[in-house]
A and B are shown apart, each in its own frame.
Chain A
Amino acid sequence: MRKQKNQRMNQDPSGPGIAILATASTVLDRELARSLEEMIFETSEAALAAAGLAYDDLDSVVLSGQDEIDGRVISCMTSAGPAGGVDRDTTMIASSADHALIYGYLRMLAGQSRNVLVVGWAKPSESVDPDRAELMSAEPYLLRQIGMNDTLAAALQASRWASDADGSDGAAWPLNQDDLPARGDSVYAIVLAFGDDLGGRTPKAWILDAGWATLTYELGGRDLGELESLRLAVAQIEERSPATKRAGWNAVEIAAPSQPAVQAVIRQLGLQASTKVNPSGALHELRTSPHVAGLARMVAAIDDLEHGDASVTAAVGFQGFASQGASVMVFSAERSAA
């Protein structure tokens, strides 16, 4: 593959100056009192209020939902209004909610927007059958016939790192229930702004860079234990921003398909013992849904900059069965940290 370039970032050692003004999240086991649209409205309003902005200050909104989980044929239709999208540029990035934040970042780098609101969600409790929605993501000729879903794919992947001595509590060998991500209803909203146009506001964090890559769909076409998508995503960042070294990451939030996959990420990234991993909670402690799990960890990585002594944090998200795709974003407390 020909080398990718980012002249803008290479010319500016302090980074591109894209700030996270505010984040807001709504995370519940099961929301019965509010509709998905009400959750999106309230979370978006909370993010804007925290940023000190009004809807009129926004010029674009980036959305991300998953039609089958939402039970809506084009889920951005009902969600655009509650997220403040009416009368402005609205785009839904449907491949994953972490891609939506990356796309919001690209819009800022492109100079397309002064402020971008990114909203990602999943409310599986409103879905008729979330397990069946996952099954629908299996191609219909082979994988759907054998009942493939995210849990089985995670187990297949984990079997690459397992030994015969490993047991299972019945989740799916070699995984135990606590190895799997907890499921729940969640909405996340993030406000991005130019560093030179903050109007006296203090940002929560700065984006240093982002990388993302997707591999073959076929489970038999890749070594599920290798996490090649993650390697490629990190390589993009390190090629563009050599100063953003993994050794400098104080905390890493990882939205892996399973706890053994979290350990595999740690090994592949070569994280030091001093690097905190998932300080916001283990997989089974943070309620989420596969579509928004990566974005949830990105918000957590941003929050980690405020709650601890970290100055640089990173987040890892995965998409598809057994880490077909991976996303990585690196955040800093200071604009010049890179």
Chain B
Amino acid sequence: MNVGILGFGQSKSVKTRMDVTFAELVKEGADLTLADAGITMDQVDAVVYPLAPDALIGVGNGERVVVDALGAAGKPFMRVNNGGATGMSAVLAAWTHIASGMFDVVLVAGADRVSESGSAQSVLNKMWDVGYERTVPLNTITMLALSAQRYMHLYDSDEVDMARVTVKNRYHASLNPNSHLRELITTDEVLNSRTLAWPIKLGDACPASTAAAGVVMVSERYAKAHGLQPAWIRGIGQNTETYWMGDRVGPKALADHGDADALGVAFQRAYAQAGITDPRTQIDAAEIYAPFSSVELHVIEAAGLAGKGESPAALAENQFTLGGGGRTVVNPSGGVLTSNPIAVTGTIRVGEAANQVRGIAGGHQVPGARVAIASAIGGDHQFYSTMVLSADLEEL
């Protein structure tokens, strides 16, 4: 059964929102999403709610508190939590709802206010086991600094390569009114920014964002019955990597912390369903989850848009930049590096990719985009979600 993205809504990502409660923010995202889809909650059969750590909003089982804000009372309702991948895993769960044959219209909508959670990195440190890696101390920055160092070692890369990612994404974000960090930045400014955990500097890091977002998903039979033209989901994939950092280094490593091979497997699963055999020539836009500039390097490679260790050279030639002349534009919205409301960051990746193939992405539209991909990463670079979308079912 084919499933489509009928509508996508998002509020502007900002540092704080003092004008709304959390529930009101969720409602804002749901309302924007339903409006874009042109439907009301009466037409929604079921709701999947994305919410990552409860601790970021300070309420256990926080999904129950926002049922009314979503308008979901009385409907089948469940919550997904796959860490940073949550926003996209929830979309995949909604795909499952529809593909099961039980439902025709499913809403995925949620919100996060990361900067208002006290210390997000202190919260995220508690992801690691209490007896060993928590005390290192690992958090999402130090964990991925280790990955960045490994990538630099493997592929003779440097901090300039990372900075180029930020320069590109800030340019894209300047074209996207919903992005959090929209100011243009230079390579030197990134290199001279404050070091958080070497080689990651402030300019290489995502912001802690507050925003809401959602998508409305429909079955093919519903779309046909109502004469609708959604963005079509052509392939999906998920995969999981080992939890332990120590299992990603050394001679007995299960995976290399410098690469994203498990994400590559998830992409291959989605590509196989979609019929993508040569990503470098078949994909117009890629909305890929990369909260730090170093992560985008190996995610581009996991997506098959460049060989291992080759993404820095391609970035230096502006191959992934809007208007840069390359085949695939990577993160035309500005990506996670410019906006990261964790619970819905993955949802935004899907929605932005859908808007690209619907041709309604606005100032950051990739001209003539017909095929797009989206991905998300959760846990400690552990849970991976991928998706291929196209403008119509005949594409690919």
Contacts and interface: CB of A to CB of B under 8 A. Distances in A.
B78 A110 contact: no
A5 B68 CA distance: 24
B101 A7 contact: yes
B367 interface: no
Interface string B80-104: 1111000001001101110111111
Given A73-B55, A140-B59, A232-B74, A214 B99 contact: no
B207 interface: no
B53 interface: yes
A216 B68 contact: yes
Contact of A66 (B60, B75, B100, B240): B60
Interface string B258-298: 00001001000000000000000000000000000000000
A95 interface: yes
Interface stretch (B120-128, B173-181, B189-197, B312-320): B120-128
A103 B127 contact: no
B83 to A, nearest CB: 5
Nearest to A108: B100
A236 B45 CA distance: 11
Given A73-B123, A80-B243, A107-B96, A2 B45 contact: yes
A67 B53 contact: yes
Contacts of A89: 237-240
B78 A95 contact: yes
Interface stretch (B333-341, B355-363, B375-383): B375-383
Contact of A81 (B51, B124, B238, B242): B242
B82 A91 contact: yes
A5 to B, nearest CB: 7
A240 B78 CA distance: 20
Contact of B74 (A1, A8, A81): A1
A240 B127 contact: no
B68 A137 contact: no
Interface stretch (A22-30, A275-283, A318-326): A318-326
B273 to A, nearest CB: 10
Contacts of B1: 110
A99 B73 CA distance: 16
Interface string A65-96: 01110011110111011000111111111111
B72 interface: yes
Contacts of B242: 81, 86
B60 A2 contact: no
Contacts of A216: 67-68, 73
A112 B49 CA distance: 21
Interface in A12-35: none
Contacts of B89: 91
B93 A91 contact: yes
A155 B371 CA distance: 55
A215 interface: yes
B36 interface: no
B240 A9 contact: no
B54 A2 contact: no
A222 to B, nearest CB: 9
A151 B177 CA distance: 47
B188 interface: no
A224 interface: no
Q: Give the residue among B45, B76, B78 with the most A Cβ atoms within 10 A.
A: B78
B209 to A, nearest CB: 19
**Size class of the B contact interface (CB-based, 8 Å):** 35 or more
A316 to B, nearest CB: 15
A180 B100 CA distance: 36
Contacts of A74: 52-53, 81, 83, 127, 378-379
B65 interface: yes
B325 interface: no
Contacts of A96: 78
A270 interface: no
B394 interface: no
B135 interface: no
B240 A93 contact: no
B93 A103 contact: yes
Given A91-B92, A107-B96, A214-B77, A4 B64 contact: no
A172 interface: no
B80 A94 contact: yes
Contacts of A236: 76
Nearest to A3: B45
Given A66-B60, A68-B54, A89-B238, A213 B83 contact: no
A91 to B, nearest CB: 6
Interface string B100-111: 111110000000
A2 B42 contact: yes
Q: Give the residue among B67, B124, B126 with the most A Cβ atoms within 10 A.
A: B67
A41 interface: no
A215 B63 CA distance: 12
A221 B102 contact: no
Contact of A99 (B59, B78, B95, B265): B78
A250 to B, nearest CB: 25
A133 interface: yes
A94 B65 CA distance: 14
A92 B82 contact: yes
B58 interface: yes
B79 A212 contact: no
Nearest to A228: B74
Contact of B102 (A71, A106, A214, A325): A106
Contacts of B49: 95
Q: Give the residue among B129, B380, B383 with the most A Cβ atoms within 10 A.
A: B383
* A-B CB proximity, top 8 nearest: A110-B99, A109-B100, A136-B60, A8-B101, A94-B81, A137-B60, A95-B79, A89-B238
Given A77-B379, A89-B238, A95-B49, 4 more contacts: A4-B103, A81-B243, A110-B100, A240-B102
Interface of B: 1, 42-43, 45, 49, 51-55, 58-61, 63-68, 72-83, 89, 92-93, 95-97, 99-104, 123-124, 126-127, 129-130, 237-244, 254, 262, 265, 378-380, 382-383
Interface of A: 1-2, 4-9, 60-61, 66-68, 71-74, 76-78, 80-81, 85-96, 99, 102-103, 106-107, 109-112, 133-134, 136-140, 211-218, 221, 228, 232, 236, 240, 319-321, 324-325
8 contacts: A5-B103, A94-B63, A94-B80, A95-B63, A109-B101, A136-B54, A138-B59, A217-B68
